[in-house]
Structure 1
Amino acid sequence: MKLAAAILSILAPGAGAATVTEVAYADGNDGSSLFGYLATPDGATEDDPRPAIIILGDWGGVDESEKERAEMFTNDGNYVTMAAAVYNSEDGPNPESFEDRIALATKYRSDPELSKSRVDAALAVLRENPLVDSSRVAIVGYCLGGSLGLNYALGGHEEIAAVAAFHGGINTVVAGDNDVLPVAPKVLLLSGGEDSQDSTASIIKIEDILNERNATWQITRYSDVDHGFALGEGYDPYVGHRSHQNFYGFVAEAFGETAFVADAPAVAGESVLPNWPTSVLSPDRTPLREVKYSTDDGFAMTGYVAVPENAPDGPLPAVVIIQDNTKPTSTEYESVRATMLADLGYVAFAADVFGDDDGGHDLTDRSQLGPYMAELRVDDIDLANARVNAAIDAVKNIEGVNVDPDRIALTGYCFGGTVVINYATSGQTGAKGIVSFHGGLSQGVAPVEDGIHAPMLIQSGGDDDAGSHIEDLEGVMNSGGTKWEYSRYSGVEHVFTVWDHPHYNPTADVRSWEDMQTFLSDVFDGTLVVETDDSGAAEEPAWGGEWGGEVQDGDMAGEAEPAPVDSPEVDPEPSSTTKTSIEFSAAFSVILALAYHTRAL
Structure 2
Amino acid sequence: MKFVASLLFALIPTIVAQGGPPAEALVERMEYADAEGAALVGFLSMPEGASAESPVPAVVIIPDWNNVDDYEKLRATMIAQELGWASFAADIYGAEYETGVPDDMRGTLAGTYRNENPDLFMQRIAAAVDQVAAMPEIDSSKIALVGYCFGGSGVLMFAIDDSSINDNVAAVVSFHGGLGPHVFDHRNMSSTMEGGDMIKPEILVLSGGNDDASSDIQTLEMTLDNSTNLWEITRYWGIEHAWTVWGGDAYNEWADIRSWESMVEFLKEVFGETSFEYSPLGVDGVETVDYTDATDGKALRGYLAQPNASMYVTPSPAVIIIPNWDGVNTYEQERAKLLSELGYVAFAADIYGADLQTDLSQDVRIEQSSLYRADNVSLFVSRMQTAIDLVKSYDFVDSENVAMMGYCFGGTGVVQYAFMGMDGVKVVGAFHGNFEESLLPAIEGPIVPYTMILSGGNDGQHGNQTLVEMMLNNGTAEWEISRWSGVDHGFTEWESEAYNLNADYRSWSAFLTAMGEKMVTPVRVGDAEAPVAAPTEGEAPAPTEGSAPTEGSGASYLQSGVIASLLLLLSITFM
TM class, shorter-length: 0.7 to 0.9
Q: 1:55 matched to which residue of 2?
A: 61
CA distance in 1, matches of 2:549, 2:185: 37
Q: 1:596 matched to which residue of 2?
A: 570
Q: Deviations over 1:61-115 (max 9, x none)?
A: 1111111110101122110100111111345652131x20000110111222111
CA distance in 2, matches of 1:519, 1:487: 13
Matched residue type, 2:298: F
Q: Any gaps of 5 or more consecutive residues in structure 1?
A: 9-15, 263-276, 532-540, 552-578
CA contact (8 A) 1:109 1:174 kept: no
Matched residue type, 2:494: W
> Does 1:322 pair with 2:328?
no
> SS at 2:30's partner residue?
strand
CA contact (8 A) 2:319 2:344 kept: yes
Aligned residue among 524, 540, 545 for 2:542:
545
1:465 positional shift: 3.8
Matched residue type, 2:170: A
Greater CA drift, 310-319 or 346-355 = 310-319
CA distance in 1, matches of 2:243, 2:470: 20
Task: Output aligned runs, 1:199-598, within 5 Å.
Answer: 199-231=213-245, 233=248, 234-262=250-278, 277-278=279-280, 280-281=281-282, 287-297=285-295, 298-309=297-308, 310-329=310-329, 332-358=330-356, 364-398=360-394, 401-442=395-436, 443-465=438-460, 469-525=464-520, 528-531=534-537, 541-545=538-542, 583-586=556-559, 588-589=562-563, 591-598=565-572
Q: 1:555 matched to which residue of 2?
A: none
CA distance in 1, matches of 2:92, 2:557: 27
Q: 1:158 matched to which residue of 2?
A: 166
CA contact (8 A) 1:60 1:95 kept: yes
Q: 2:105 matched to which residue of 1?
A: 100
CA contact (8 A) 1:377 1:418 kept: yes
CA contact (8 A) 1:286 1:307 kept: no
Q: 1:565 matched to which residue of 2?
A: none
CA distance in 2, matches of 1:530, 1:18: 33
CA distance in 2, matches of 1:369, 1:363: 10
CA distance in 1, matches of 2:130, 2:326: 55
**For the structure 1 residues 414 and 204, does the alpha-carbon distance in structure 2 shift closer, same or farther, using more than 3 Å as the test?**
same
1:590 positional shift: 5.6
1:405 positional shift: 1.2
1:199 positional shift: 1.4
Matched residue type, 1:61: N
> SS at 1:20's partner residue?
coil
**For the structure 1 residues 302 and 179, does the alpha-carbon distance in structure 2 shift closer, same or farther, using more than 3 Å as the test?**
closer
CA contact (8 A) 1:455 1:529 kept: no
CA contact (8 A) 1:142 1:231 kept: no
1:286 positional shift: 5.6
CA contact (8 A) 1:211 1:490 kept: yes
Q: Deviations over 1:367-393 (max 9, x none)?
A: 232132112112211101111111011
CA distance in 2, matches of 1:224, 1:581: 28
CA contact (8 A) 1:441 1:465 kept: no
Greater CA drift, 295-304 or 137-146 = 295-304
Q: 2:17 matched to which residue of 1?
A: none
> SS at 1:408's partner residue?
strand
1:529 positional shift: 4.9
1:253 positional shift: 1.3
**For the structure 1 residues 6 and 126, does the alpha-carbon distance in structure 2 shift closer, same or farther, using more than 3 Å as the test?**
farther
Q: 2:176 matched to which residue of 1?
A: 167
**For the structure 1 residues 208 and 452, does the alpha-carbon distance in structure 2 shift closer, same or farther, using more than 3 Å as the test?**
same
1:524 positional shift: 0.5
1:493 positional shift: 0.3
CA distance in 2, matches of 1:516, 1:468: 21
CA contact (8 A) 1:65 1:581 kept: no
CA contact (8 A) 1:418 1:439 kept: yes
Q: Deviations over 1:3-52 (max 9, x none)?
A: 579999xxxxxxx9999333332323222221121111111222121010
CA distance in 2, matches of 1:363, 1:594: 28
CA distance in 2, matches of 1:528, 1:494: 32
CA distance in 1, matches of 2:6, 2:25: 29
Which structure has more relative contact order (CA 8 Å, sep 6+)? It is 2
1:291 positional shift: 0.8
> SS at 1:339's partner residue?
helix
CA distance in 2, matches of 1:242, 1:35: 31
CA distance in 1, matches of 2:415, 2:161: 39
CA distance in 2, matches of 1:177, 1:228: 24
Matched residue type, 1:162: A
> SS at 1:162's partner residue?
strand
CA distance in 1, matches of 2:461, 2:209: 18
CA distance in 1, matches of 2:408, 2:273: 31
Q: Any gaps of 5 or more consecutive residues in structure 2?
A: 12-21, 194-198, 521-531
Matched residue type, 1:599: T
CA distance in 2, matches of 1:167, 1:300: 50
CA distance in 2, matches of 1:388, 1:21: 54
Q: 1:566 matched to which residue of 2?
A: none
CA distance in 2, matches of 1:131, 1:28: 21
CA distance in 1, matches of 2:543, 2:252: 9
CA distance in 1, matches of 2:237, 2:401: 22
1:324 positional shift: 0.4
CA contact (8 A) 1:56 1:141 kept: yes
CA contact (8 A) 1:454 1:529 kept: no
Matched residue type, 2:568: L
Q: Deviations over 1:184-230 (max 9, x none)?
A: 000110000001xx211111101001101111000000001100112
CA contact (8 A) 1:237 1:546 kept: no
Matched residue type, 2:124: R
Matched residue type, 1:308: P
Greater CA drift, 588-597 or 517-526 = 588-597
CA distance in 2, matches of 1:502, 1:313: 39
Q: 1:21 matched to which residue of 2?
A: 27
**Structure 2-normalised TM-score?**
0.86
**For the structure 1 residues 3 and 142, does the alpha-carbon distance in structure 2 shift closer, same or farther, using more than 3 Å as the test?**
farther
CA distance in 2, matches of 1:325, 1:5: 29
> SS at 2:26's partner residue?
strand
Q: Deviations over 1:549-591 (max 9, x none)?
A: 778xxxxxxxxxxxxxxxxxxxxxxxxxxx9988313475561
> Does 1:79 pair with 2:79?
no
RMSD of equivalent CA atoms: 2.8
CA contact (8 A) 2:61 2:145 kept: yes
Aligned residues: 532
> SS at 2:61's partner residue?
strand
CA distance in 2, matches of 1:507, 1:581: 32
Matched residue type, 1:62: V
Matched residue type, 1:75: Q
> SS at 2:410's partner residue?
helix
Matched residue type, 2:387: A
CA distance in 2, matches of 1:115, 1:178: 14
Aligned residue among 163, 168, 186 for 1:176:
186
Q: 1:109 matched to which residue of 2?
A: 114
Matched residue type, 1:299: K
Greater CA drift, 131-140 or 22-31 = 22-31
